[in-house]
Every structure is written in C-alpha cells, then in structure tokens.
Structure 1
C-alpha cells in the first residue's frame, strides 16, 4: 500500500471521490486538496477482502486510522475531534495542536 502525505502539514492524505466520480487527494487537517497524480484502481466491494490485490482503504476506513480525542468543536459542539501536533515555534516552546471536527457536516479546524 502506498501512502501520500500533505505538502502543507505532513499529515496522511485521504482519497476523496466527488459527485462526478473524480478521485483526488484531500487532507483532513488543513485545506489542501490536490489531483491524484498516480493510477488508482477502483475496487468493487463484491471482491474478496482478503485478496492482496484489493488493498486500498475507502475514506471511512482511512478516517479510522486518524487519531481522535474528546475535544468539543467550538463551531458545532461535537464532542470528538481529529488532531495532530506540530512544532511551529522554537524548540523550547510547546507544540501546536491542530484539531478538526469529526462531524463530516462541520469539518471545522482550529488550533491551540
């Protein structure tokens, strides 16, 4: 399996399928979206799951791999959020924590 990471925040990029069945890369923690620059084979759900040829994860399976915490969203008050930490200042300063609401209708991002 190949993993691609965001050029902005270095988080794992997810595959996103729009209403025209176009596949692109999407970051869950920042606004980055990009074209899919490699060949992806669409896998039918009727195929065997244990087949090594069918090793792509759908977007819901990818979301399960992102760490979550119990942090209330300031916009919709949803009780869970995805998070990641990044050193944005000097080494003697604490890391910045970036959050994104787990509610797919909200997707609000904030930092501490």
Structure 2
C-alpha cells in the first residue's frame, strides 16, 4: 500500500504511476515493489457514511427517544453503521428533523 506524500490518502495504480485517491497527486510507480501491491474492487456507495452537510437523511427511520442538543427537538432521522470491530455495538448517526443538527450515539 502506498500513501500520498501531500495529503496522506491511499494511492492507487493507474498505468505506470500511482495516483492519490483524494488530491490527485501522482508519483512514479516503484516497479520493484509493484508485486507487493494488490488491487481490489472499488468501495460501493452503500458503505459510505453520509456525514457531509447536504447528506439526505429524509426517508430514513425516525427515532422519537432522542434529544437534540441544539434545539431540544425529540425526533430525528437516523442510520446505523458498524464503525468498530464486529464485537462492538453499531453506531447510530442522527439528524434532527427540526434544525438539521447531526450527532452520533455509540450505544
């Protein structure tokens, strides 16, 4: 595995160069180490946790046993993701239905 010197993100092979997945920086491919690299299928979008400001939570399940620290509203949309190892409980990500504030609960 090779990491970008500029931003630290993982790089992938693109012909004779290694390309950063985040910033697009390129680095010469080290042919001696090329046999050590393993290509895998790209990550599908359903594994991505929607954390950006514009992420759409509407239509997700609703929790009515929560309390928004920003506005005090007691209903929020949520999604559940396994962010730790398999023997740890999943993480719930919430978005307040009133003000849009986001938070997480580790159970």
Structure showing greater radius of gyration is: 2
**TM-score normalised by length of structure 2:** 0.47
TM-score by length of 1: 0.45
